[in-house]
C-alpha cells in the first residue's frame, strides 16, 4: 500500500475531503491528511521530510482562488511546490512525487479522482525506480 500525505486547508479543502469520507467515496487507504490554515504556508522542507520518512507522495489540496488569507495564494502555493520539487530533486528523489490541486469544500469527487490518479502515477514511478 502506497502512503500519500495530503496537506489540506482547514477552511476550504478539509470540508471537501470530509465530504468524500461522509459520502463513502472510495479512495486509496494509504492517504493521511494534515490540516494547515493556508497552503502557501507549507514549508518545502516539510514535504522533503515526509518523503524521507516513508511517504511515497505528497499532495497539496490548496484553496486556489478561494483562499481567505491571501489573494495571491495560488501563486505562492505553486512556488512552494516548485521549491519542494527542486529540494527533492537535489536529494535524489523524483519531483513527480509532489502534486498540487485546488480542492474546494464540495470537491469530494475531485479529491477522490486526484487520489486515485496520483496513486496510479506513484505506482508507475515506484515501478520505474525498482526496474
The DSSP output letter for 64 is G
Residues paired with residue 98 on neighbouring β-strands, in sequence order: 58
Q: How many CB atoms lie within 10 A of CB 87?
A: 17
Q: What sign results for the dihedral spanned by CA atoms 88, 49, 111, 38? A: negative
- CATH code, domain carrying 36: 3.40.50
Strand order of the β-sheet with 57-62 is: 31-36, 4-9, 57-62, 98-102
CA distance 52 to 78: 21
Mean local confidence (pLDDT), 34-54: 95
User: What is the rounded CA–CA span in Å between residue 64 and residue 40?
Assistant: 10
129: buried, middle or exposed (CB in 10 Å: 19+, 13-18, 0-12)? exposed
- pTM score, two decimals? 0.91
Q: Please give the residue range of the domain that contains residue 101.
A: 4-128
CB 75 within 8 A of CB 94: no
Q: Count up the domains in the chain and report the number.
A: 1
Q: With 80 as the cut, is the pLDDT of residue 27 above it?
A: yes
Reduced to 3 states (helix: H, G, I; strand: E, B; else coil), residue 35 is: strand
- C-alpha cell at position 7: 496537506
Q: What is the pLDDT of residues 68-109, one digit of tens each?
A: 776 777 888 999 999 999 999 999 999 999 999 989 888 899
Amino acid at each position: 500500500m502506497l502512503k500519500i500525505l495530503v496537506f489540506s486547508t482547514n477552511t476550504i479543502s478539509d470540508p471537501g475531503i470530509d465530504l468524500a469520507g461522509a459520502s463513502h467515496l472510495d479512495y486509496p487507504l494509504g492517504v493521511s491528511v494534515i490540516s494547515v490554515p493556508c497552503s502557501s504556508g507549507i514549508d518545502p522542507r516539510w514535504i522533503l521530510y515526509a518523503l524521507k520518512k516513508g511517504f511515497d507522495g505528497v499532495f497539496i489540496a490548496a484553496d486556489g482562488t478561494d483562499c481567505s488569507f491571501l489573494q495571491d495564494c495560488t501563486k505562492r502555493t505553486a512556488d512552494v511546490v516548485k521549491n519542494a520539487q527542486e529540494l527533492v530533486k537535489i536529494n535524489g528523489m523524483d519531483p513527480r512525487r509532489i502534486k498540487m490541486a485546488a480542492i474546494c469544500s464540495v470537491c469530494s469527487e475531485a479529491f477522490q479522482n486526484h487520489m486515485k490518479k496520483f496513486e496510479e502515477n506513484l505506482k508507475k514511478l515506484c515501478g520505474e525506480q525498482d526496474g
